[in-house]
Amino acid sequence: MRGPSKTLFLGVALLLSAVVGLGSCSSALRTPTAGGDEAPVRIAFVPKVAGIAYFDAMNAGGLEAAERLGVRWTTRGPATVDPAAQTAIVRDLVAQQAADVIAVAPNDPAALAPAIADARAKGVHVLTTDTDAPESQREVFVNQASPEGVGTALVDALMAKTGGSGKFAIVSCGRSAANLNAWISVEQTYAAERYPKAQLVETVYAGEDTTTATELAKQVLDRHPDLAGLIGECTTSAPGVAQAVRDQQKIGRVYTVGTGTPQTMKPYLLDGSCSMSVLWNVESLGYLTAWAAQQLVLGRPFGPSNNVSLELPAVKYDRPSKSMLLGDPLLITQDNVDQFKY
């Protein structure tokens, strides 16, 4: 009896050792509650700027995911698009140990990179969403749509109204926004190759401010009386360029397209000052961001195709670029705009 008892004792000891070891690894990722259970994953979402419809919709998607997945989702957005303001929020979240993972949409990827490195050094996970910082230490980029998908759709939508010719201009937001600059690069190349009779005459930058976008668009219209079209490159400049066309009573003579949120663009789509909005399901982007953040904290690797939810059953992940792709862009017109609540 002595032999088997000793063997049993050693087996139990090894099993306990293994359990303790697993517990140590787990505790490095999660903080136990007072009752001994793991606390919910804490996700802090840092958009480019607070108080605009687009990021409000992303926040709504994140909150829905939090309810379904059992995570905690909070949002802290800067009051302006000043990169320093966004960097200060990220550093403060790290200093206060307020989040297990930070999901940030960088205003200036280069300016934010040191703060991301500091967060990672202190054990805080970081992902980028909506806009990437590919040269930083972010762990994954949650991408709404490919630059080719957005850029070509915007150009095609505008050229469908202008007959594939004429002068057009772009009103973008931040000069350093990686996603917007990628779309613009595609638009420049694609328009030159596909529509040789069209000419891009200007690209101007309005920050994340619709009033500024409207004023800049009016100035472009004044400088180019024969302008055929305008692209509003972000969700605040899309209504801005449509408003400029409306104010100058050029509906039907100057056409606009953009990446505006559906309900913001609805009045412009209905009166023809905007022909089409090219976007994606923004709430789904927020949901996917929360899901990806939870996977990072729990140490679950992404597969080539990921079953995120019933609405997102096959989200693609590209390992070399460490990026997830929500899917193809949506084409929003006056006919389908009411399908979207945001």
From the options 3.40.50.2300, 3.40.1370.10, 3.60.21.10, 3.40.50.10470, give the CATH code of 147-279.
3.40.50.2300
Average pLDDT over residues 169-192: 96
Number of H helices, E strands in the chain: 10, 14
C-alpha separations of 105 from 48, 102, 116, 214 in Å: 6, 10, 12, 24
Is 90 exceeded by the pLDDT of residue 231? yes
Average pLDDT over residues 41-62: 97
Q: What is the DSSP pairing of strand 198-205 with strand 227-232?
A: unpaired
Looking at residue 330, its amino acid is L
What are the residue ranges spanned by the domains of the chain?
Answer: 42-144+282-327, 147-279
User: What is the pTM assigned to this prediction?
Assistant: 0.85
Is the confidence at residue 40, as pLDDT, over 90? yes
Between CA 208 and CA 13 the distance in angstroms is 61
The mean per-residue pLDDT over the stretch 201-205 comes to 98
Could you tell me which residues come within 8 angstroms of residue 327 by beta carbon, excluding any fewer than 6 positions away? 145, 280, 315
What's the CATH superfamily of 42-144+282-327?
Response regulator (3.40.50.2300)
For residue 196, the surrounding DSSP H or E stretch is: none
Task: Give residues with Cβ within 8 angstroms of 25, minimum separation 6.
Answer: none
Q: What is the structure's pLDDT at 37?
A: 61
Q: Label residue 143 by pLDDT band (50, 70, 90).
A: very high
Distance CA 71, CA 107 (A): 26
Degrees (nearest 5) of the Cα angle 172, 177, 179? Answer: 90
Query: Is 50 exceeded by the pLDDT of residue 21?
Result: no
Domains 42-144+282-327 and 147-279 share a fold: yes
